Structure 1
Amino acid sequence: MSRTQPLHFKGAHFDFDISKDPIIYSILNLTPDSFYDGGVNTGIDQVLHRIETELTYGAKIFELGGKSSKPHFDDISADEEWNRVAPYLKAIQERFPKAVLAIDSNTDEVIERALQSGIQIINDIDGFNSQTKLDLVGKYKPSVVTMFNGRNFDEQPQTLEDTMTSFFTDSIQRLEEQGLDRENIVIDPGVGFSNQNTLEFDLIKMRATKQLRQFNAPIMIAISQKSFAKRLFDAGPDERLIPTLLFEAYMTQLGGRIIRVHNVKETQELVKTYQLFQDILN
């Protein structure tokens, strides 16, 4: 997992050295309809206990989401999305004031409310594709995750990597023009986000992790429990952990450093096992 040059992910009150080792980024879906864990996090006390437990397993960032982004998701109003998140955010900030928090949203109004409430990281599945979002980045200077959303492009297998490279070149430039540094910007190849919705596209995006290292920016591994495992093994939502972990290890070896997951304990075991394996090789 070593790199030829230092790499950090930085933001308000955090600085993670990810040159060698990845960090764990925990998903806290607060929606009734998410593809894997919709309706699971149903109470504030439950979520607070989960965060407390996952901190002991090494989670560094906790991401709140108030709207599903699964294929053909049902869109909701900005008010409904924010009202799902706000009470949890307040409770988490009171109980864990030093926690590094993110929000998963592509809604202008929700992003603004999150920034006003002290959220440090904005994860936008649409890659900050509106001037309003860019203006908010310029005003608040959050750290960000910019994702290549293949649903917004007419993808072809032969040109997909070039399309992704062009997209991230443009997205990073626009974010840097708003005052962010490269180490504030995480890039996510968007596995599972495609109009084609095929294993071929998912594998191309996973392999592209190596090519995306050219940007010298943190790369997110966001494949937890996704449907590539269904297409490989006809695996249901509760049967996707092993292929998820194996492909996460593969993408880590290629240069991914921020592992966005539902299963924090098992991911910690993956990271420790991988570190041991690297020590044996060296």
Structure 2
Amino acid sequence: MYINCKGRLIDFTTPKVMGILNLTPDSFFDGGSRKSKEEHLFHAEEMLQEGADFIDVGAYSSRPGAVDISEAEELKRLLPVVESLVKEFPEVLLSVDTFRSEVAKRAVEAGAAMINDISAGNLDEKMLQTVANLQVPYIMMHMRGTPQTMKGLNEYEDLVQDILFYFSQKIREARAAGINDLIIDPGFGFSKNIRHNFELLSKSDLFKNLELPVLAGLSRKSLIYKTFDSTPDEALNGTTVLNTIALMKGANILRVHDVKEAVECVKLVEQLKN
């Protein structure tokens, strides 16, 4: 499987690693730990040196119950960092984590290579057509409601079957709009409780039937640290274990806070497969 990123063909024969760059003050793990543009640039450089294939930049916190911010505030946080990253690291492949079409448009114009939408177009009716016009890869995640309401929207007839049906619909919509390069994200932690998340991981190989690259976003999430009655700060080892399982189940991208450990995961699993 391949996607076209700024004219470069990205081959998913070997899984890729996407490093998380949070520009928000309230993300569940490292929100607010870096405040200046220089600190964000240093962190991005560190992740690239550790082997990140993509950097995912987000300026709107999507943790459960996160504070809603305006589009203007999201752009104010996001654009200076995107512009600086592209200037400092011309070859970087930036993904922008947003559900707003205007933010997506402005970010790609500033040099971003991909859009990562937690709502798969459900929170902005213009998103699919905007991405199609931009001709960039599009990550579609499964979520119900909004970050403010999703926690209570976790009743399913059949979890994996429901999510597969959701994606089959969203893929049709995206293709009809003219989007060529699609990636799916089952949405660990979004509109799902801990039991759901483990069931989703255990059956995540079924998403290969969609014949699209699959992104796994398990990094330091509550299904790990609540299992141990600990905190996100103590969830690196658990993240590595679940990332390894995700790779064995066919994940093509690991979206992570800790790039070095994820790159090592990929190398070890590839050695095992070969």
Fold match by TM threshold 0.5: yes
Indicate the residue corresponding to 2:189 in structure 1. 192
Unaligned regions of 5+ residues in structure 2, if any?
none
Q: Per-residue deviation at 1:245?
A: 0.8
Unaligned runs of 5+ in 1: 1-6
Contact 1:66 1:84 in 2 (8 A): yes
Instruction: Provide the rounded CA distance (Å) in 1 between the counterparts of 2:193 and 2:157.
Output: 14
Corresponding residue to 2:229 among 230, 234, 238: 234
Deviations 1:84-123 (A, max 9, x none): 1111111111111111011101123312221332321111
Residue in structure 2 matched with residue 31 of structure 1 by the alignment: 24
Q: Give the partner amino acid of 2:4.
A: K
TM-score by length of 2: 0.92
Are residues 1:274 and 2:269 paired? yes
Distance in 2 between residues matched to 1:108 and 1:147, nearest whole Å:
15
Question: How far is 1:59 from its partner?
Answer: 0.5
- Per the alignment, residue 101 of structure 1 pairs with 94
Query: Please, what TM-score do these two structures have when normalized by structure 1?
Result: 0.90
245, 249, 270: which one pairs with 1:254?
249
- What letter matches 1:229 in structure 2? I
Distance in 2 (CA, whole Å) between partners of 1:94 and 1:140 is: 20
**Of 203, 212, 215, the match for 1:217:** 212
Match of 1:84 among 52, 73, 77: 77
What is residue 245 of structure 1 aligned with on the other side?
240
Task: Please give the secondary structure, in 2, of the residue aligned with 1:174.
Answer: helix
Percentage identity across aligned positions? Answer: 30
Q: How does 1:7-22 map to 2 (within 5 A)?
A: 7-19=1-13, 21-22=14-15
**Contact 2:4 2:136 survives alignment (8 Å):** no
The answer on 1:136 being equivalent to 2:130 is yes
The alpha-carbon deviation at position 50 of structure 1 amounts to: 2.3
Cα RMSD, aligned residues only: 1.7
